[in-house]
Structure 1
Amino acid sequence: MRTRPALEIAVVSPAGARTAREHGADRVELCTALELGGLTPSTATVEAVAAAGLPVHVLVRCRPGDFVYDREEVALMAAEVRTLLRAGAHGVVIGALTPEGALDVPALTTIVDAARSAASAAQITLHRAVDQASDPVAAVAALPRLGIARVLTSGGAPTAIEGRTALTAMAAAAPGVEVAAGGGVRPEDIAGLLAAGATGVHLSAKSHATPRRAAGWVPLGVGGTSADADTHFVTDGTVVAAARKALDAVA
């Protein structure tokens, strides 16, 4: 019997987690700095989001940019994994590559071992580093040997719906691995993604927060950042609800 497809929403705050829960999400992926592709959130944020009531998978990514990490960065992420799981996370979302685009097996093993030492039953997900791999399908096929049971992927394409052929190949290459389709997913894409073999979908379901600031805003970034860019994202309940409806229509 096929497991019911899960709806996961990327959130950055307890308020986002509550919005996701109220509009039908099954779980949340928690991060900070969505505008940078997501970074590791604080322990206090994990604790607060865990209290919101949905299972929480936490992104562990110590910096923006590529997924090739040195020894110090790997040690930092291993320490973060232990801390975040002890703070109430149900799972962690990790990734590391070699300069050649293969999975960095020693780095991933270190991080997976750290997760198991903190919470043996925690679900471990390979994040969209897989989409930067030289052979994303082969990378997914290697996951069971690393103790990783889930992958979040766009199939190596800019959006998951564009990568649906690769999603099908990933599902076939690793039958025991959950393939969560993520990357530019819209509610209208969900039926096609599930038909391609995805076992769940991941959406950021985000919109820009309404600015709450006085006139005469001084840009905080470099390179002439505009006031319009000096903002943050919030979870959009209407998008979550539309995704829930689309998932239920085909599940």
Structure 2
Amino acid sequence: MKLEIAVVSAEGAGIAATEGADRIELCSSLELGGITPSQGLMDAAAEQVADRLEIHPLIRCRPGDFIYSAAELDTMGREAQHLLRQGAHGVVFGALRPGGEINVPAIRRLVECARNANPSAQLTFHRAIDQTPNAETALDVLIGLGITRVLSSGQAASAGAGLKTLARMARFSAGRVQIMAGGGLRIQDIPSMKRSGMDAVHLSAKKTVSTLPPGSTPTGDRDGTDPTEYQVTDAEAVRAARTAGNS
């Protein structure tokens, strides 16, 4: 079973590679659910991993919903092409209609943009599928559009809670599209994901760090919270996830 780690820095990419991840979802602003990484970050991450794993940038031009305007889709198509031409192995995206159904014209356009840049690019449809009315119907649509894999929590608040649906999705897909479990995934959930037929698991494996001196009182404009804290990839968490996936 493959292990994918969501990372937001070149250093995080290097940690994921060192600790045995198979690929990374490269993004920025993970605290907002992730948005498209810069081309500079793509270059730096590629240098850090040195072909030790695959890099799959997230293509998401803004936080919020997955209902995009024509201009937003144009931006996302351009981002996908630029990042793939820089050497990304695939891209991660999703788009919905107002009722929650897959936006077929939008996905077809993004697929075409990606394939034009790299005909062998892997295409991942992200957790937008968890907002669709019916997972099996959505899978059929995505298979028809040439999607490589789907990231899902089983339409639940966390992948652990959505395990039964994820297992049903894996049976329904029957190898036509890969099912990757992610979203609130705990390391202790990984063995059950493997037993249930998941092709991969996805997690951020992050920890919060701070440069505030011990005992100091936080100041600033964030309601008394620490203004210096930020999240980084946790090597121990990646290592534990790799071990769990190998068990």
**If the length of structure 1 is used for normalisation, what is the TM-score?**
0.91
1:31-70 equivalences under 5 Å are 31-53=27-49, 54-70=53-69
Q: Distance in 1 between matches of 2:57 and 2:234?
A: 20
Counting only pairs closer than 5 Å after superposition, residues 193-232 of structure 1 correspond to structure 2 as: 193-211=193-211, 217-219=219-221, 224-228=222-226, 231-232=229-230
* Residue of structure 2 equivalent to 1:241: 239
Deviations, residues 52-107 of structure 1 (Å, cap 9, x unaligned): 22210010111111111111111110111001111121110000000001000000
Distance 1:212 1:81, change over 3 A: farther
The number of residue pairs the alignment matches comes to 241
CA change 1:248–1:80 in 2 (3 A) is: same
1:11-67 deviations in whole A, cap 9, x for unaligned? 001100111111111111100111011110101101111122221001011111111
SS at match of 1:142: helix
Amino acid at match of 1:238: E
Query: Conserved in 1, the CA contact under 8 Å of 2:153 and 2:182?
Result: yes
Cα separation, partners in 2 of 1:216 and 1:208, compared to 1, 3 Å: closer
- Spell out, residue by residue over 1:213-239, the C-alpha distance to the aligned partner (whole angstroms, 9 max, x if none): 8977432xxxx5544266321000111
Give aligned-pair identity as a percent. Answer: 46
Give the Å deviation of 1:173: 2.1
Whether 1:189 aligns to 2:189 is yes
Contact 1:141 1:173 in 2 (8 A): no
**Corresponding position: 1:124 with 2:92:** no
Alignment partner, residue 167 of structure 2: 168
2: CA distance, partners of 1:88 / 1:51: 11
Q: Secondary structure at the match of 1:51?
A: helix
In the alignment, is residue 6 of structure 1 matched against residue 2 of structure 2? Answer: yes
In the TM superposition, residue 172 of structure 1 has moved relative to its aligned partner by 2.1
> RMSD in angstroms over aligned alpha carbons?
1.7
Aligned position for 1:73: 72
Match of 2:92 in 1: 93
Tell me which amino acid in the other structure corresponds to 2:145.
L
For residues 109 and 157 of structure 1, the distance between their equivalents in structure 2, rounded to whole angstroms, comes to: 27
Residue 106 of structure 1 aligns to which amino acid in structure 2?
A: P
Unpaired stretches in structure 1, ≥5 consecutive residues: none
**Structure 2 gap segments, 5+ residues each:** none
Counterpart residue identity of residue 199, structure 1 = D
Q: One-letter code of the match for 1:44?
A: G
1:179 alignment counterpart: 179
| Aligned residues of 2:24 and 2:54 also touching (Cα < 8 A) | yes
- What one-letter code is carried by the residue in structure 2 that aligns with 1:244? R
Moved more, 202-211 or 167-176: 167-176
Q: Structure 1 residues 154 and 216, CA, compared in 2 at 3 Å: closer, same or farther?
A: closer
Corresponding residue number in structure 2 for 1:140:
139
**Residue 97 of structure 1: SS of its match in structure 2?**
coil
**Greater CA deviation, 168-177 or 9-18?**
168-177
